[in-house]
Structure formats: structure tokens, C-alpha cells
Amino acid sequence: MKYFKNLWFALLVISLLLVGCASNEETTTTQKDSKNEQQQSYTVVDDRGIELTFDKVPEKVVSLLPSNTEILFELGAGDKVIGVTQNDTYPEEVLEIEQVADFETVNAERIVEMNPDIIFASSSNEGQIEQLESTGLKVFVIESALTIEDVYGDIQQIAQVMDVEEQGQQIVETIKSQIAAVQEKTATIETKKKVYFEISPAPEVWSVGSNTFQQELMDAAGIENVFSEQEGWFSVTEEDIINVNPEVILTTVNYAENPEAEILSRAGWSTITAIQNKQVYLIDPDIVNRQGPRIGEAIELMAKTVYPELFK
């Protein structure tokens, strides 16, 4: 009889322990669920200093700047992009996405119909931002990057909005590694080559100087810009170019037929070293003009074009 009493008591103790464990597990699970619910809401600050709070990660995204679109795809959020601009060309999948803006105008009415969770805009969309926000849509404004560090910041901001901060940091580190690899090669250069960078062809010739993103890329690629003492984007005369006598000419004018041949054949330019040595090259404007995740590739492209011997 005593044996059965002891057995009954042991079973009772085990039962109470199991109930206690289950209760503790339930409490822990409840605490975790509560914590997850609290973590769902997060706030990110855009370049206007405006805080945008998200109750959940955006599922429908409109991008009004090609560089931001490229960042979204690089972050693995490309499948959430439902609207882009006519200037978006990369990656290839973007060509299948509905175009809701061109270089000058934004189809605000169509964007409102799409009802995106977030719109990534730039300061150039200033006229439409207020219109879109007045409908209750969230607009995250990113200023056009002027420096490589600005691009890193843009990537990290968009990563925060899409709740993929770790992926954003990985992309930044990859770009830094790409640039470091290029600069390891160009560090051996004793005298930088003098380069003229053309962004608009004759007869209205335009180039770039300091405080431009292109100047940042040239500096990183170990290139001397013959117009670095100028500032911003500016028009230059053919006489100015002849006087500075560049060793290499780079152009991003891909809308003209055979831009390299056109430059080589310009009257009066035969005394320019770059013309004499036929050192005139078209480089992809979608790579070197976009402040996005391909800037490491852009710097390598510039350096390879000007110093091909370093990359053999």
C-alpha cells in the first residue's frame, strides 16, 4: 500500500512540473510574440529630416530615380518595385515594370491609383512630392549624391526602409573592396594622365568640374580632370579644350551616332594629344552617371580605360 501511495505522489509531482514547464514556455512564447509585435513598427529619417514610420515592411514600392531602383534590386527588394521611370534600364528586369515618370514629369494620378506603401523620390521631384503626400502616400526623399560617401548613405537609408540593414552594409563593404582593388593598382602611377570628360557634344560642349559626382569617380580612379578647377557642370569652348591639351578624352554621349569618331574628326583638334594618339573613348553613362551600387564598377571602368596596362 505504501508503494502505491509513493507512486501516486511521484506522479503528482511530475504532473505539476510538466504543467509548470508548459506555463513557463507559454509565458516565454507570449513574451516573444509581444516583442515581435513591438519590433514591427520602425522609423527612418529621409534627407529632408522628415521621419517616416512603418508598421510593416513596404510591399509595394515606386522609385522615381534610376539609382534608387538599382539599390532596391541590389538589396533583393526588386520584386516589390511596381513603378519606375522611363530612364530605368538596369537591371534587365526593370524593363518589365510600369513606367510612371520621365526625366521631367511624374504621373502622380497613376501613382495614387497604384497606392504604393512607399515612394522613393529625389529633390528633383520637388513639384510632385507635396501633391503625392497630400493624398496620404508616404514619400521618402533622397538628395542626389555628390560623393561616394553619399552613395553609401543612400544605400543604408533604403536598406533601413526595406528592413534589410545587414544586406545594405554588405553592399557598402563590397563597393569599398572594389574601389580598394582599383586603387591598389593605380597607386603605382607616378604621373596621372590628364583627362577631358565630355557630357554634351559639339556645338554646345559641356564638361564637369569639382563638386560633381563624376569628379569624385575620377579622383578615385587616379585620373586628373583637366577642368578640375572649374565647378559643377559647365560649357566649354573648343579653344579651352585645345589649350588644356588632354591626353585622354572620355565621353558619355551615347545618343549621338559614333561619338568617338565625331570627336576625332573635329576641325582644329588635330594638335590635341588625345586626338593624335586616338585616345578617345565612350564609356557607359548608365554606369558612371548613376549614384548607385555600381560605383565600384564605374571607378574600375574609368581606370581600365585610361590605364589599360595596369589591368592586364
Q: Could you give all domains of the chain from N- to C-terminal order, each with its CATH number?
A: 44-163 (3.40.50.1980), 186-311 (3.40.50.1980)
Residue 91, preceding peptide bond in cis (omega within 30° of 0): yes
Those residues whose C-beta lies under 8 Å from the C-beta of residue 66, and which sit 6 or more positions away, are 84, 85, 87, 88, 89, 90, 286, 290, 292
pLDDT in tens, 183-226: 999 999 999 999 999 999 988 999 999 999 999 999 999 999 99
- Paired sense of beta strands 233-235 and 206-208, if any: antiparallel
pLDDT of residue 298: 98
pLDDT of residue 39: 57
pLDDT in tens, 156-187: 999 999 999 999 999 999 999 999 999 999 99
Which amino acid type is present at position 135? T
Entry pTM: 0.86
Average pLDDT score over residue span 108-115 = 97
Those residues whose C-beta lies under 8 Å from the C-beta of residue 95, and which sit 6 or more positions away, are 88, 89
Residue among 127, 124, 108, 126 at smallest CA distance from 116 = 108
Share of the chain above pLDDT 90, in %: 81
